[in-house]
Chain A
Amino acid sequence: MLAASGLGKRYRRRWALSDCTLEIPAGRVVGLAGPNRAGKTTLLHLAVGLIAPTTGMIEVLGERRSPAQLGRVGFVAQDTPVYPGLSVAAHLRMAGYLNPGWDGELARRRIEQLGLDPRQRAGRLSGGQRAQLALTLAIAKRPDLLILDEPVASLDPLARREFLRSVAGTVTGHGTSVVLSSHLVADLELICDYLVVLVASRVRLAGDIAALLASHRQRTGHQVRLDDLVVASMSQTGDV
Protein backbone atom coordinates (compact mmCIF):
# COMPACT_ATOMS: atom_id res chain seq x y z
CA MET A 1 0.00 0.00 0.00
CA LEU A 2 2.87 2.33 0.81
CA ALA A 3 6.34 1.36 -0.32
CA ALA A 4 9.51 3.41 -0.34
CA SER A 5 13.01 2.53 -1.35
CA GLY A 6 16.11 4.66 -0.98
CA LEU A 7 13.76 7.59 -0.45
CA GLY A 8 15.44 10.89 0.35
CA LYS A 9 14.51 14.56 0.50
CA ARG A 10 16.96 17.40 0.80
CA TYR A 11 16.14 21.01 1.62
CA ARG A 12 19.08 23.14 0.52
CA ARG A 13 21.87 21.56 2.54
CA ARG A 14 19.85 19.64 5.10
CA TRP A 15 18.53 16.15 4.46
CA ALA A 16 15.08 15.89 6.03
CA LEU A 17 14.89 12.25 5.04
CA SER A 18 17.58 10.06 3.58
CA ASP A 19 17.75 6.52 2.29
CA CYS A 20 14.41 5.47 3.72
CA THR A 21 13.16 2.04 2.74
CA LEU A 22 9.91 0.67 4.10
CA GLU A 23 6.81 -1.21 3.18
CA ILE A 24 3.41 -0.83 4.83
CA PRO A 25 0.69 -3.41 4.16
CA ALA A 26 -2.84 -2.42 3.16
CA GLY A 27 -5.91 -2.60 5.38
CA ARG A 28 -4.08 -1.69 8.57
CA VAL A 29 -4.15 1.21 10.96
CA VAL A 30 -0.49 2.07 11.01
CA GLY A 31 1.19 4.12 13.67
CA LEU A 32 4.29 6.02 12.60
CA ALA A 33 6.34 6.83 15.68
CA GLY A 34 9.70 8.46 16.17
CA PRO A 35 11.36 11.46 17.75
CA ASN A 36 10.96 14.95 16.36
CA ARG A 37 12.93 15.57 13.15
CA ALA A 38 13.10 11.84 12.44
CA GLY A 39 11.54 12.56 9.05
CA LYS A 40 7.93 11.55 9.78
CA THR A 41 6.33 14.64 8.29
CA THR A 42 8.66 14.60 5.29
CA LEU A 43 7.78 10.96 4.64
CA LEU A 44 4.05 11.69 4.80
CA HIS A 45 4.36 14.77 2.59
CA LEU A 46 6.20 12.65 0.05
CA ALA A 47 3.43 10.06 0.30
CA VAL A 48 0.66 12.56 -0.49
CA GLY A 49 2.72 14.26 -3.19
CA LEU A 50 3.07 17.65 -1.51
CA ILE A 51 6.80 17.37 -2.15
CA ALA A 52 8.81 15.31 -4.61
CA PRO A 53 11.69 13.05 -3.56
CA THR A 54 15.29 14.12 -4.15
CA THR A 55 16.37 10.50 -4.36
CA GLY A 56 14.70 7.11 -4.47
CA MET A 57 11.05 6.43 -5.04
CA ILE A 58 7.77 6.09 -3.21
CA GLU A 59 4.70 4.19 -4.31
CA VAL A 60 1.30 4.79 -2.80
CA LEU A 61 -1.64 2.48 -3.51
CA GLY A 62 0.48 0.71 -6.07
CA GLU A 63 1.47 3.71 -8.17
CA ARG A 64 3.89 6.58 -8.24
CA ARG A 65 2.71 10.17 -7.87
CA SER A 66 -0.17 10.79 -10.24
CA PRO A 67 -3.15 13.15 -10.47
CA ALA A 68 -5.56 10.21 -10.09
CA GLN A 69 -3.95 9.37 -6.77
CA LEU A 70 -5.01 12.69 -5.26
CA GLY A 71 -8.61 11.51 -5.13
CA ARG A 72 -7.74 8.21 -3.46
CA VAL A 73 -5.70 9.57 -0.58
CA GLY A 74 -7.18 11.60 2.25
CA PHE A 75 -4.76 13.80 4.15
CA VAL A 76 -4.91 15.76 7.37
CA ALA A 77 -1.83 17.93 7.74
CA GLN A 78 -0.11 18.83 10.97
CA ASP A 79 -1.98 21.54 12.92
CA THR A 80 -5.08 20.58 10.88
CA PRO A 81 -5.23 23.65 8.63
CA VAL A 82 -8.64 24.99 7.56
CA TYR A 83 -9.67 28.32 6.04
CA PRO A 84 -10.27 30.65 9.00
CA GLY A 85 -12.60 32.93 7.03
CA LEU A 86 -14.87 30.20 5.67
CA SER A 87 -17.72 28.64 7.60
CA VAL A 88 -17.96 24.94 8.39
CA ALA A 89 -20.67 24.58 5.72
CA ALA A 90 -18.49 26.38 3.16
CA HIS A 91 -15.70 23.90 3.86
CA LEU A 92 -18.03 21.02 3.08
CA ARG A 93 -19.20 22.77 -0.10
CA MET A 94 -15.60 23.40 -1.09
CA ALA A 95 -14.63 19.76 -0.60
CA GLY A 96 -17.71 18.77 -2.59
CA TYR A 97 -16.59 20.93 -5.50
CA LEU A 98 -13.06 19.58 -5.41
CA ASN A 99 -13.67 15.84 -4.96
CA PRO A 100 -15.69 13.74 -7.40
CA GLY A 101 -16.10 10.97 -4.83
CA TRP A 102 -17.40 13.33 -2.15
CA ASP A 103 -19.92 11.82 0.28
CA GLY A 104 -21.91 14.86 1.33
CA GLU A 105 -24.32 12.83 3.45
CA LEU A 106 -21.49 11.34 5.48
CA ALA A 107 -19.94 14.77 6.00
CA ARG A 108 -23.21 16.37 7.13
CA ARG A 109 -23.92 13.51 9.52
CA ARG A 110 -20.48 13.77 11.07
CA ILE A 111 -20.74 17.53 11.55
CA GLU A 112 -24.12 17.03 13.17
CA GLN A 113 -22.83 14.28 15.47
CA LEU A 114 -19.94 16.47 16.50
CA GLY A 115 -22.36 19.25 17.35
CA LEU A 116 -20.64 21.78 15.11
CA ASP A 117 -22.63 24.77 13.92
CA PRO A 118 -22.40 24.77 10.11
CA ARG A 119 -22.54 28.57 10.06
CA GLN A 120 -19.60 28.91 12.43
CA ARG A 121 -16.45 30.31 10.91
CA ALA A 122 -13.60 27.78 10.99
CA GLY A 123 -11.30 30.41 12.51
CA ARG A 124 -13.47 30.47 15.65
CA LEU A 125 -13.49 26.71 16.24
CA SER A 126 -11.53 25.17 19.11
CA GLY A 127 -8.45 23.12 18.27
CA GLY A 128 -10.36 19.88 18.73
CA GLN A 129 -13.27 21.05 16.57
CA ARG A 130 -10.93 22.24 13.86
CA ALA A 131 -9.18 18.86 13.83
CA GLN A 132 -12.56 17.14 13.57
CA LEU A 133 -13.53 19.37 10.64
CA ALA A 134 -10.27 18.59 8.87
CA LEU A 135 -10.81 14.89 9.52
CA THR A 136 -14.37 15.10 8.18
CA LEU A 137 -13.07 16.67 4.96
CA ALA A 138 -10.55 13.86 4.56
CA ILE A 139 -12.95 11.03 5.41
CA ALA A 140 -15.94 12.15 3.32
CA LYS A 141 -13.67 12.11 0.30
CA ARG A 142 -13.98 8.30 0.67
CA PRO A 143 -10.26 7.67 0.31
CA ASP A 144 -8.61 4.26 0.08
CA LEU A 145 -5.84 5.57 2.27
CA LEU A 146 -6.10 8.11 5.04
CA ILE A 147 -2.90 9.83 6.12
CA LEU A 148 -2.83 11.87 9.33
CA ASP A 149 0.23 13.87 10.28
CA GLU A 150 0.37 14.48 14.05
CA PRO A 151 -3.31 15.39 14.05
CA VAL A 152 -3.58 15.42 17.83
CA ALA A 153 -0.28 17.10 18.70
CA SER A 154 -1.94 20.35 19.73
CA LEU A 155 -5.04 18.89 21.37
CA ASP A 156 -5.81 18.45 25.06
CA PRO A 157 -6.01 14.85 26.34
CA LEU A 158 -9.81 14.64 26.09
CA ALA A 159 -10.02 16.00 22.54
CA ARG A 160 -7.10 13.74 21.65
CA ARG A 161 -8.97 10.65 22.78
CA GLU A 162 -12.18 11.69 21.04
CA PHE A 163 -10.38 12.43 17.80
CA LEU A 164 -8.58 9.09 17.75
CA ARG A 165 -11.80 7.26 18.57
CA SER A 166 -13.54 8.89 15.62
CA VAL A 167 -10.66 7.94 13.34
CA ALA A 168 -10.97 4.34 14.49
CA GLY A 169 -14.75 4.44 14.26
CA THR A 170 -14.93 5.71 10.72
CA VAL A 171 -12.32 3.46 9.18
CA THR A 172 -13.67 0.19 10.51
CA GLY A 173 -16.11 -1.15 8.02
CA HIS A 174 -14.80 0.87 5.07
CA GLY A 175 -11.60 -1.09 4.61
CA THR A 176 -9.68 2.17 4.57
CA SER A 177 -6.00 1.95 5.36
CA VAL A 178 -4.71 4.54 7.80
CA VAL A 179 -1.26 5.93 8.47
CA LEU A 180 -1.10 8.09 11.58
CA SER A 181 2.03 9.74 12.88
CA SER A 182 2.65 10.83 16.43
CA HIS A 183 5.60 11.24 18.71
CA LEU A 184 3.49 9.88 21.56
CA VAL A 185 3.21 6.10 21.60
CA ALA A 186 0.17 6.28 23.88
CA ASP A 187 -1.80 7.93 21.06
CA LEU A 188 -0.87 5.22 18.60
CA GLU A 189 -1.49 2.40 21.03
CA LEU A 190 -5.11 3.48 21.26
CA ILE A 191 -6.06 2.68 17.67
CA CYS A 192 -3.13 1.25 15.71
CA ASP A 193 -2.51 -2.41 14.95
CA TYR A 194 0.74 -1.91 13.06
CA LEU A 195 3.74 0.09 14.10
CA VAL A 196 6.65 1.71 12.29
CA VAL A 197 9.37 3.44 14.29
CA LEU A 198 11.43 5.92 12.36
CA VAL A 199 14.68 7.28 13.79
CA ALA A 200 16.89 9.57 11.71
CA SER A 201 15.23 8.45 8.46
CA ARG A 202 15.78 4.77 9.26
CA VAL A 203 13.11 2.23 10.07
CA ARG A 204 14.05 0.91 13.52
CA LEU A 205 11.05 -1.27 14.09
CA ALA A 206 8.14 -2.33 11.90
CA GLY A 207 5.41 -4.89 12.29
CA ASP A 208 2.10 -5.97 13.69
CA ILE A 209 1.89 -4.61 17.22
CA ALA A 210 0.60 -7.83 18.80
CA ALA A 211 3.32 -9.83 17.05
CA LEU A 212 6.02 -7.40 18.13
CA LEU A 213 4.94 -7.67 21.76
CA ALA A 214 4.65 -11.44 21.58
CA SER A 215 8.09 -11.92 20.05
CA HIS A 216 9.63 -9.68 22.68
CA ARG A 217 7.96 -11.73 25.40
CA GLN A 218 9.33 -14.91 23.88
CA ARG A 219 12.84 -13.48 23.61
CA THR A 220 13.13 -11.97 27.06
CA GLY A 221 10.59 -13.98 29.01
CA HIS A 222 8.67 -11.02 30.43
CA GLN A 223 5.79 -8.78 29.47
CA VAL A 224 6.65 -5.35 28.11
CA ARG A 225 4.63 -2.24 27.32
CA LEU A 226 4.60 -0.94 23.75
CA ASP A 227 5.99 2.33 25.02
CA ASP A 228 9.09 0.61 26.41
CA LEU A 229 9.51 -1.39 23.25
CA VAL A 230 9.52 1.77 21.12
CA VAL A 231 11.88 3.62 23.46
CA ALA A 232 14.21 0.61 23.47
CA SER A 233 14.20 0.49 19.66
CA MET A 234 14.93 4.21 19.43
CA SER A 235 17.94 4.04 21.74
CA GLN A 236 19.54 1.18 19.86
CA THR A 237 22.31 2.02 17.48
CA GLY A 238 22.36 0.55 14.04
CA ASP A 239 19.53 -1.12 12.18
CA VAL A 240 17.26 -3.75 13.61
Chain B
Amino acid sequence: MIRFTWLQLRAQAAAVAGAIALLAAAAAGLLHRDDAVARLWLGVLVVVAPGLLGMFWGAPLVAREFEDGTFRLAWTQSVTRTRWMAVKLAVGGLASMAAAGLLSLVVTWWAGPLDRAALNQFATFDQRDIAPIGYAAFAFTLGVLAGSLIRRTLPAMFVTLAVFVAVRLAEFTWLRPRLFSPVLLNLALNPGSTGYGQAGTLSVLFSSPTLMPNPPDLPNTWITSMRIVNAHGQVLSTQVLDSACPDIGRGRGGGGGGLGGHSKAPQAVVNTLQDCVAKIGTTYHEALAYQPASHYWPLQWYELAIFLGAAVILAAACLWRVRRP
Protein backbone atom coordinates (compact mmCIF):
# COMPACT_ATOMS: atom_id res chain seq x y z
CA MET B 1 0.00 0.00 0.00
CA ILE B 2 2.89 2.35 0.77
CA ARG B 3 4.47 1.59 -2.59
CA PHE B 4 1.13 2.12 -4.33
CA THR B 5 0.63 5.49 -2.66
CA TRP B 6 4.16 6.46 -3.57
CA LEU B 7 3.52 5.37 -7.17
CA GLN B 8 0.67 7.88 -7.35
CA LEU B 9 2.46 10.68 -5.52
CA ARG B 10 5.98 10.41 -6.84
CA ALA B 11 5.64 12.66 -9.89
CA GLN B 12 4.34 15.55 -7.78
CA ALA B 13 6.80 14.81 -5.00
CA ALA B 14 9.66 14.90 -7.49
CA ALA B 15 8.42 18.25 -8.83
CA VAL B 16 8.23 19.74 -5.33
CA ALA B 17 11.63 18.35 -4.34
CA GLY B 18 13.10 19.73 -7.57
CA ALA B 19 11.62 23.16 -6.92
CA ILE B 20 13.07 23.25 -3.41
CA ALA B 21 16.49 22.09 -4.64
CA LEU B 22 16.40 24.78 -7.32
CA LEU B 23 15.48 27.38 -4.74
CA ALA B 24 18.26 26.23 -2.42
CA ALA B 25 20.75 26.44 -5.27
CA ALA B 26 19.50 29.89 -6.21
CA ALA B 27 19.64 31.03 -2.59
CA ALA B 28 23.17 29.72 -2.19
CA GLY B 29 24.52 31.07 -5.44
CA LEU B 30 22.52 33.86 -6.98
CA LEU B 31 20.64 35.69 -4.27
CA HIS B 32 22.75 38.17 -2.43
CA ARG B 33 22.48 37.53 1.27
CA ASP B 34 21.63 41.10 2.16
CA ASP B 35 18.85 41.41 -0.37
CA ALA B 36 15.94 42.59 1.77
CA VAL B 37 13.40 42.18 -1.04
CA ALA B 38 14.42 38.55 -1.58
CA ARG B 39 14.10 38.01 2.18
CA LEU B 40 10.56 39.33 2.08
CA TRP B 41 9.51 37.16 -0.88
CA LEU B 42 11.14 34.01 0.43
CA GLY B 43 9.27 34.62 3.69
CA VAL B 44 6.00 34.94 1.78
CA LEU B 45 6.81 31.69 -0.03
CA VAL B 46 7.27 29.83 3.27
CA VAL B 47 3.98 31.24 4.55
CA VAL B 48 1.92 30.25 1.50
CA ALA B 49 3.63 26.89 0.80
CA PRO B 50 1.59 24.90 3.39
CA GLY B 51 -1.66 26.29 1.98
CA LEU B 52 -0.59 25.30 -1.53
CA LEU B 53 0.36 21.80 -0.35
CA GLY B 54 -3.08 21.43 1.22
CA MET B 55 -4.80 22.66 -1.92
CA PHE B 56 -2.80 20.79 -4.53
CA TRP B 57 -1.76 17.65 -2.67
CA GLY B 58 -4.29 17.14 0.09
CA ALA B 59 -7.58 18.11 -1.54
CA PRO B 60 -7.19 16.19 -4.83
CA LEU B 61 -5.71 13.10 -3.17
CA VAL B 62 -9.10 11.61 -2.33
CA ALA B 63 -11.46 13.97 -4.18
CA ARG B 64 -9.97 12.97 -7.54
CA GLU B 65 -10.53 9.27 -6.73
CA PHE B 66 -14.20 10.05 -6.21
CA GLU B 67 -14.39 12.22 -9.31
CA ASP B 68 -12.77 9.63 -11.58
CA GLY B 69 -14.57 6.71 -9.92
CA THR B 70 -11.20 5.07 -9.21
CA PHE B 71 -12.11 4.69 -5.53
CA ARG B 72 -14.21 1.74 -6.71
CA LEU B 73 -11.04 0.23 -8.14
CA ALA B 74 -8.92 1.03 -5.08
CA TRP B 75 -11.46 -0.12 -2.52
CA THR B 76 -11.99 -3.49 -4.18
CA GLN B 77 -8.34 -4.57 -4.03
CA SER B 78 -7.25 -6.82 -1.15
CA VAL B 79 -6.56 -3.85 1.13
CA THR B 80 -9.19 -2.42 3.49
CA ARG B 81 -10.14 1.14 2.82
CA THR B 82 -9.15 2.13 6.36
CA ARG B 83 -5.62 1.05 5.55
CA TRP B 84 -5.86 2.75 2.17
CA MET B 85 -6.75 6.05 3.84
CA ALA B 86 -4.24 5.65 6.68
CA VAL B 87 -1.35 5.06 4.29
CA LYS B 88 -2.39 7.91 2.02
CA LEU B 89 -2.52 10.22 5.03
CA ALA B 90 0.80 9.04 6.39
CA VAL B 91 2.76 9.15 3.13
CA GLY B 92 1.24 12.40 1.89
CA GLY B 93 1.41 14.00 5.33
CA LEU B 94 5.06 13.14 5.83
CA ALA B 95 5.91 14.29 2.29
CA SER B 96 4.16 17.61 2.94
CA MET B 97 5.95 18.06 6.25
CA ALA B 98 9.28 17.24 4.64
CA ALA B 99 8.64 19.72 1.82
CA ALA B 100 7.63 22.56 4.16
CA GLY B 101 10.43 21.71 6.60
CA LEU B 102 13.08 21.72 3.89
CA LEU B 103 11.80 24.96 2.43
CA SER B 104 11.79 26.58 5.86
CA LEU B 105 15.27 25.24 6.55
CA VAL B 106 16.65 26.72 3.32
CA VAL B 107 15.03 30.10 3.92
CA THR B 108 15.97 30.19 7.63
CA TRP B 109 19.58 29.46 6.74
CA TRP B 110 19.69 31.95 3.87
CA ALA B 111 18.03 34.78 5.78
CA GLY B 112 20.07 34.18 8.96
CA PRO B 113 22.38 37.22 8.68
CA LEU B 114 19.50 39.58 7.82
CA ASP B 115 17.32 38.14 10.57
CA ARG B 116 20.04 38.60 13.16
CA ALA B 117 20.56 42.17 12.03
CA ALA B 118 16.83 42.93 12.07
CA LEU B 119 16.52 41.99 15.78
CA ASN B 120 12.85 41.21 15.24
CA GLN B 121 12.57 37.44 15.19
CA PHE B 122 8.85 37.39 16.04
CA ALA B 123 8.05 39.28 12.83
CA THR B 124 9.20 36.23 10.84
CA PHE B 125 7.86 33.67 13.34
CA ASP B 126 5.67 31.78 10.82
CA GLN B 127 8.30 31.84 8.08
CA ARG B 128 11.21 30.25 9.91
CA ASP B 129 12.31 27.19 11.82
CA ILE B 130 9.83 24.43 12.67
CA ALA B 131 6.41 26.12 12.73
CA PRO B 132 5.85 25.66 8.94
CA ILE B 133 6.10 21.86 9.38
CA GLY B 134 3.00 21.95 11.57
CA TYR B 135 1.14 24.20 9.14
CA ALA B 136 1.91 21.79 6.28
CA ALA B 137 0.71 18.72 8.20
CA PHE B 138 -2.47 20.56 9.12
CA ALA B 139 -3.14 21.92 5.62
CA PHE B 140 -2.55 18.53 4.01
CA THR B 141 -4.93 16.60 6.29
CA LEU B 142 -7.44 19.43 6.01
CA GLY B 143 -7.30 18.99 2.23
CA VAL B 144 -7.80 15.23 2.49
CA LEU B 145 -10.78 15.68 4.82
CA ALA B 146 -12.34 18.32 2.57
CA GLY B 147 -11.88 15.95 -0.39
CA SER B 148 -13.42 13.05 1.55
CA LEU B 149 -16.46 15.07 2.54
CA ILE B 150 -17.05 17.11 -0.62
CA ARG B 151 -15.82 14.49 -3.12
CA ARG B 152 -15.15 17.08 -5.80
CA THR B 153 -11.68 18.44 -6.42
CA LEU B 154 -12.20 22.12 -7.14
CA PRO B 155 -14.64 22.91 -4.31
CA ALA B 156 -12.47 20.86 -1.94
CA MET B 157 -9.44 22.95 -2.92
CA PHE B 158 -11.22 26.23 -2.24
CA VAL B 159 -12.68 25.03 1.06
CA THR B 160 -9.21 23.88 2.09
CA LEU B 161 -7.71 27.27 1.32
CA ALA B 162 -10.51 29.20 3.05
CA VAL B 163 -10.45 27.11 6.23
CA PHE B 164 -6.67 27.07 6.36
CA VAL B 165 -6.40 30.85 6.07
CA ALA B 166 -9.15 31.33 8.67
CA VAL B 167 -7.51 28.95 11.14
CA ARG B 168 -4.08 30.50 10.69
CA LEU B 169 -5.46 34.01 11.16
CA ALA B 170 -7.40 32.99 14.26
CA GLU B 171 -4.39 31.18 15.65
CA PHE B 172 -1.91 33.99 15.34
CA THR B 173 -4.20 36.85 16.26
CA TRP B 174 -6.01 35.14 19.13
CA LEU B 175 -4.34 31.97 20.35
CA ARG B 176 -0.63 32.56 19.98
CA PRO B 177 -0.44 35.69 22.19
CA ARG B 178 -2.24 33.71 24.92
CA LEU B 179 -0.04 30.60 24.92
CA PHE B 180 2.47 32.01 27.40
CA SER B 181 1.80 34.71 29.95
CA PRO B 182 3.51 37.83 28.67
CA VAL B 183 5.97 39.99 30.54
CA LEU B 184 4.22 43.12 31.80
CA LEU B 185 5.90 46.49 31.80
CA ASN B 186 4.63 49.87 33.01
CA LEU B 187 6.16 53.03 31.60
CA ALA B 188 5.49 56.69 32.19
CA LEU B 189 4.04 58.50 29.20
CA ASN B 190 6.76 60.35 27.34
CA PRO B 191 5.47 63.64 25.89
CA GLY B 192 8.37 63.59 23.43
CA SER B 193 7.45 60.31 21.77
CA THR B 194 3.69 60.03 22.13
CA GLY B 195 1.51 60.79 19.16
CA TYR B 196 -2.20 61.11 18.52
CA GLY B 197 -4.14 59.03 16.04
CA GLN B 198 -5.37 55.57 15.25
CA ALA B 199 -3.46 52.36 14.90
CA GLY B 200 -3.67 50.70 11.50
CA THR B 201 -5.80 51.73 8.56
CA LEU B 202 -8.89 49.62 9.22
CA SER B 203 -9.24 50.81 12.79
CA VAL B 204 -10.34 54.21 11.47
CA LEU B 205 -13.75 52.58 11.02
CA PHE B 206 -14.00 51.12 14.50
CA SER B 207 -12.24 53.43 16.91
CA SER B 208 -11.79 57.08 17.62
CA PRO B 209 -8.33 58.60 17.74
CA THR B 210 -6.43 58.47 20.98
CA LEU B 211 -2.92 58.95 22.32
CA MET B 212 -0.40 56.64 20.70
CA PRO B 213 2.77 55.98 22.65
CA ASN B 214 5.78 54.96 20.62
CA PRO B 215 6.87 51.41 21.50
CA PRO B 216 10.03 51.23 23.59
CA ASP B 217 13.15 49.63 22.20
CA LEU B 218 12.85 45.95 23.13
CA PRO B 219 14.86 43.95 20.59
CA ASN B 220 13.64 40.50 19.51
CA THR B 221 10.42 40.72 21.50
CA TRP B 222 6.81 40.57 20.49
CA ILE B 223 4.67 43.34 21.96
CA THR B 224 1.20 41.83 22.21
CA SER B 225 -0.59 44.76 23.79
CA MET B 226 0.10 48.41 24.46
CA ARG B 227 -2.48 50.44 26.34
CA ILE B 228 -2.75 53.68 28.29
CA VAL B 229 -4.28 52.95 31.69
CA ASN B 230 -4.65 54.65 35.07
CA ALA B 231 -3.73 53.27 38.48
CA HIS B 232 -6.97 51.25 38.54
CA GLY B 233 -6.19 49.66 35.21
CA GLN B 234 -8.89 51.63 33.38
CA VAL B 235 -8.10 52.42 29.77
CA LEU B 236 -7.92 56.06 28.76
CA SER B 237 -11.33 56.89 27.31
CA THR B 238 -12.18 59.44 24.65
CA GLN B 239 -14.27 61.36 27.21
CA VAL B 240 -11.38 61.71 29.65
CA LEU B 241 -9.02 62.67 26.86
CA ASP B 242 -11.41 65.24 25.40
CA SER B 243 -12.15 66.84 28.74
CA ALA B 244 -8.47 67.02 29.65
CA CYS B 245 -7.35 68.29 26.28
CA PRO B 246 -10.29 69.95 24.48
CA ASP B 247 -8.00 71.35 21.80
CA ILE B 248 -6.39 68.06 20.77
CA GLY B 249 -6.80 66.98 17.20
CA ARG B 250 -7.61 70.46 15.99
CA GLY B 251 -5.50 71.31 13.03
CA ARG B 252 -3.43 69.05 10.89
CA GLY B 253 -0.90 66.43 11.80
CA GLY B 254 -0.50 64.38 14.89
CA GLY B 255 3.02 63.01 15.10
CA GLY B 256 4.90 63.31 18.33
CA GLY B 257 7.97 65.45 18.43
CA GLY B 258 11.45 64.09 18.29
CA LEU B 259 10.62 61.09 16.11
CA GLY B 260 11.61 62.51 12.80
CA GLY B 261 9.47 62.13 9.72
CA HIS B 262 6.48 63.54 11.55
CA SER B 263 7.94 66.94 12.18
CA LYS B 264 5.77 68.71 9.64
CA ALA B 265 3.02 69.45 12.15
CA PRO B 266 2.89 73.13 13.11
CA GLN B 267 4.71 73.90 16.33
CA ALA B 268 1.47 75.04 18.00
CA VAL B 269 -0.16 71.64 17.41
CA VAL B 270 2.92 69.84 18.72
CA ASN B 271 2.90 71.99 21.82
CA THR B 272 -0.79 71.31 22.45
CA LEU B 273 -0.17 67.59 22.16
CA GLN B 274 2.88 67.59 24.41
CA ASP B 275 1.02 69.60 27.05
CA CYS B 276 -1.85 67.15 26.83
CA VAL B 277 0.40 64.07 27.18
CA ALA B 278 2.09 65.65 30.20
CA LYS B 279 -1.31 66.35 31.76
CA ILE B 280 -2.67 62.86 31.09
CA GLY B 281 0.66 61.41 32.22
CA THR B 282 0.03 62.51 35.80
CA THR B 283 -2.74 59.91 36.24
CA TYR B 284 -2.23 57.54 33.30
CA HIS B 285 0.70 55.39 32.22
CA GLU B 286 1.65 53.08 29.39
CA ALA B 287 1.04 49.36 30.10
CA LEU B 288 2.92 46.96 27.87
CA ALA B 289 2.60 43.20 27.51
CA TYR B 290 5.21 41.37 25.49
CA GLN B 291 6.74 37.98 24.78
CA PRO B 292 10.46 38.11 25.47
CA ALA B 293 13.07 36.59 23.16
CA SER B 294 13.37 33.58 25.46
CA HIS B 295 9.80 32.58 24.51
CA TYR B 296 10.64 32.25 20.82
CA TRP B 297 11.60 28.58 20.77
CA PRO B 298 8.98 27.37 23.26
CA LEU B 299 6.40 29.16 21.10
CA GLN B 300 7.78 27.50 17.96
CA TRP B 301 7.39 24.07 19.60
CA TYR B 302 3.91 24.90 20.85
CA GLU B 303 2.93 26.08 17.39
CA LEU B 304 4.25 22.85 15.88
CA ALA B 305 2.48 20.73 18.50
CA ILE B 306 -0.83 22.56 18.11
CA PHE B 307 -0.96 22.16 14.35
CA LEU B 308 0.28 18.57 14.45
CA GLY B 309 -2.41 17.82 17.05
CA ALA B 310 -5.05 19.42 14.83
CA ALA B 311 -3.73 17.35 11.90
CA VAL B 312 -4.11 14.15 13.93
CA ILE B 313 -7.71 15.05 14.76
CA LEU B 314 -8.46 15.76 11.09
CA ALA B 315 -6.79 12.48 10.10
CA ALA B 316 -9.01 10.63 12.56
CA ALA B 317 -12.01 12.31 10.95
CA CYS B 318 -10.80 11.12 7.51
CA LEU B 319 -10.55 7.54 8.79
CA TRP B 320 -13.97 7.78 10.38
CA ARG B 321 -15.42 9.07 7.11
CA VAL B 322 -13.89 6.36 4.94
CA ARG B 323 -15.09 3.61 7.28
CA ARG B 324 -18.67 4.70 6.88
CA PRO B 325 -19.70 2.77 3.79
Cβ 8 A contact of B73, one of A73, A100, A134: A134
Q: How far is the CA of A193 from the CA of B78 in the complex (A)?
A: 28
Residues of B within 8 A of A67 (CB): 80
**Are the C-beta atoms of B4 and A83 separated by less than 8 Å?**
no
Residues of B within 8 A of A51 (CB): 325
Contact residue range for chain B? Answer: 10 to 19
**Are the C-beta atoms of B73 and A77 separated by less than 8 Å?**
yes
Residues of B within 8 A of A75 (CB): 72, 76
**Are the C-beta atoms of B78 and A79 separated by less than 8 Å?**
no
A231 within 8 A of B: no
**Are the C-beta atoms of A98 and B325 separated by less than 8 Å?**
no
Q: How far is the CB of A86 from chain B (nearest CB, A)?
A: 7
Q: How far is the CA of A85 from the CA of B76 in the complex (A)?
A: 20
B77 within 8 A of A: yes
**Are the C-beta atoms of A141 and B73 separated by less than 8 Å?**
no
Q: Give the contact stretch, choosing among A87-95, A104-112, A214-222.
A: A87-95
Residues of A within 8 A of B30 (CB): none
**Are the C-beta atoms of A90 and B7 separated by less than 8 Å?**
yes
**Are the C-beta atoms of A97 and B4 separated by less than 8 Å?**
yes
Interface of B: prevailing SS = loop
B158 within 8 A of A: no
Q: How far is the CB of B15 from chain A (nearest CB, A)?
A: 13
Q: How far is the CA of A126 from the CA of B199 in the complex (A)?
A: 64
0/1 string, B68-79, CB within 8 A of A gives 1: 111011011111
Residues of B within 8 A of A97 (CB): 1, 3-4, 7
**Are the C-beta atoms of A82 and B78 separated by less than 8 Å?**
no
B271 within 8 A of A: no
A70 within 8 A of B: yes
**Are the C-beta atoms of A101 and B78 separated by less than 8 Å?**
yes
Task: Please judge, given known A-B contacts A93-B7, A97-B3, whether A50 and B72 are in contact too, CB under 8 Å.
Answer: yes
Q: How far is the CB of B229 from chain A (nearest CB, A)?
A: 57
Q: How far is the CA of A127 from the CA of B4 in the complex (A)?
A: 24
B237 within 8 A of A: no
**Are the C-beta atoms of B73 and A70 separated by less than 8 Å?**
no
Task: Please judge, given known A-B contacts A67-B80, A81-B69, A83-B70, whether A50 and B325 are in contact too, CB under 8 Å.
Answer: yes
Please, which residue of chain B has its CB at the minimum distance from the CB of A48? B76
Please, which residue of chain A has its CB at the minimum distance from the CB of B75? A50
Q: How far is the CA of A134 from the CA of B69 in the complex (A)?
A: 12
Q: Which of B4, B7, B70, B72 has the most CB of A within 10 A?
A: B72
**Are the C-beta atoms of A94 and B4 separated by less than 8 Å?**
yes
Which residues, 32 to 70 on A, are CB-close (under 8 Å) to B? Answer: 48-52, 67, 70
Residues of B within 8 A of A166 (CB): none
Please, which residue of chain A has its CB at the minimum distance from the CB of B69? A81
Which residues, 6 to 51 on B, are CB-close (under 8 Å) to A? Answer: 7-8, 11
A84 within 8 A of B: yes
Q: How far is the CA of A51 from the CA of B69 in the complex (A)?
A: 14
Q: How far is the CA of A100 from the CA of B1 in the complex (A)?
A: 11
Contacts A79-B69, A97-B7, A141-B77 aside, 6 further interface pairs with beta carbons under 8 A come to A73-B76, A75-B76, A81-B73, A98-B4, A99-B77, A137-B73
> Taking beta carbons and an 8 Å cutoff, which residues of B are in contact with A?
1, 3-4, 7-8, 11, 68-70, 72-73, 75-80, 325
